Structure 1
């Protein structure tokens, strides 16, 4: 027990590591928020592109979805940070991580939004069209609100799962919570900072998981 306390709950080291790991935690939160906002927005836009009926756009979106749902998140992060500079495109570790994870979330979001749009009964399309409403207005005023309501619980759960990948940013020197903890750990020669980072991750993701369950139950009841 003494050895566990010394290696993972060393109080002096925890106190010394706290400022740096806390700063890394703020970076983690910022990246996560960027991933959710960009990923969900782009995913919805891709789903709407499929609604245009264009075979070319539909094929392009489908190809994008399949590729980014298949590739490991770490591979995408490394490609964005180390591969794109060969094309003259450079991103900071923050932007590379945020954009890579947002691209993954956009792929899943696009598929979820498309599935929920298709889940709305076709009779509603036909009834609205019989009243002379243009297809765009039918989609915007009648179909999309129902589809989004169905998609919210699924999007919330997927967003949480993907934003956990912010820790992968440590591979490209992103100073997020895990990366900061590893840095202090190497200096102090003690893994206690990892315990601190774990606590911050729990403090961030447990409320998100709880919120996702509340949202899921609320929308399941149709409120």
Structure 2
């Protein structure tokens, strides 16, 4: 067996383990928390009083205008200078959550704003409150439109978690770096890590396509009934 193939097979287990134990939880938790933060931020920007709108806009402006890597460094390496010390995983989780929250807030804000005003009027005409109209009428329609961009954000997040290696989270990419430090074979190990990310992204992209087709069929069914 060629040396490079043997090395890839030997390192596959540790790389997949790091992906399972660190990359996957970091991705899922960051996306879930970021999505919740994005929804709150979007609702604030659309419906809250102007002081809160200004705060939300400032948050989105800062996060979208600075590199994710810089944000991670500020949280993990910068905050200890003011007495706030975080472990690597929580620091990365906070950084990714804030980043995802800013970008998803713009997606959610746009899809909510795209729902025709008549939908609000129809909900109010049958006695719904603002909360009921949002939960039963507006958000379900907006969610179908938001699936493609939110799915793209999730897939990008899977790859962006490799930046957590810079703040010592032992995820997939840092595990590859550790093996490189022992084997002195950066090309082989980094290609293998890239292939794992490629497989994960491909699987998620396929699931995204299937989800979009199902939502389109469901939407067409509802339109036909209407």
TM-score bracket relative to the smaller structure: 0.7 to 0.9
CA positional deviation for 1:13:
2.6
The superposition leaves residues 78-135 of structure 1 with CA deviations (integer Å, 9 ceiling, x where unpaired) of 1111112223222222122222112111111111111111111111212322344322
Task: Give the counterpart of 1:128 among 123, 131, 140.
Answer: 123
Residues 39 and 105, structure 1, Cα contact 8 Å, conserved in 2: yes
- The match for 2:170 is 175
Where 2:47 maps in the other structure, the secondary structure is: coil
Task: Give the counterpart of 2:16 among 7, 15, 22.
Answer: 22
Where 1:215 maps in the other structure, the secondary structure is: helix
Q: What are the equivalent positions in structure 2 for 1:72-91 lying under 5 Å apart?
A: 72-91=67-86
Question: 1:24 and 1:118 mapped to 2: Cα distance?
Answer: 40
- The match for 2:159 is 164
Residues 160 and 208, structure 1, Cα contact 8 Å, conserved in 2: yes
Q: What are the equivalent positions in structure 2 for 1:58-73 lying under 5 Å apart?
A: 58-73=53-68
Question: 1:15 and 1:125 mapped to 2: Cα distance?
Answer: 57
Question: 1:110 and 1:91 mapped to 2: Cα distance?
Answer: 26
CA positional deviation for 1:193:
2.3
Question: 2:38 and 2:153 mapped to 1: Cα distance?
Answer: 12
Task: Give the counterpart of 1:208 among 176, 193, 204.
Answer: 204
Question: 1:71 and 1:159 mapped to 2: Cα distance?
Answer: 19
Where 1:157 maps in the other structure, the secondary structure is: helix
- The match for 2:224 is none
Question: 1:83 and 1:184 mapped to 2: Cα distance?
Answer: 28
CA positional deviation for 1:59:
1.5
Question: 2:59 and 2:128 mapped to 1: Cα distance?
Answer: 32
- The match for 2:52 is 57
Question: 2:128 and 2:70 mapped to 1: Cα distance?
Answer: 45
- The match for 1:219 is 215
Question: 1:14 and 1:132 mapped to 2: Cα distance?
Answer: 63
Q: Structure 2: which 5+ residue stretches go unaligned?
A: 221-226
Task: Give the counterpart of 1:32 among 15, 27, 36.
Answer: 27
Task: Give the counterpart of 1:196 among 192, 195, 204.
Answer: 192
Say yes or no: does 1:107 pair with 2:122.
no
Say yes or no: does 1:13 pair with 2:7.
yes
May I ask how many residue pairs the two structures share in their alignment? Answer: 216
- The match for 2:87 is 92
Residues 101 and 163, structure 1, Cα contact 8 Å, conserved in 2: no
Residues 21 and 181, structure 1, Cα contact 8 Å, conserved in 2: yes
CA positional deviation for 1:220:
4.5
Where 1:91 maps in the other structure, the secondary structure is: coil
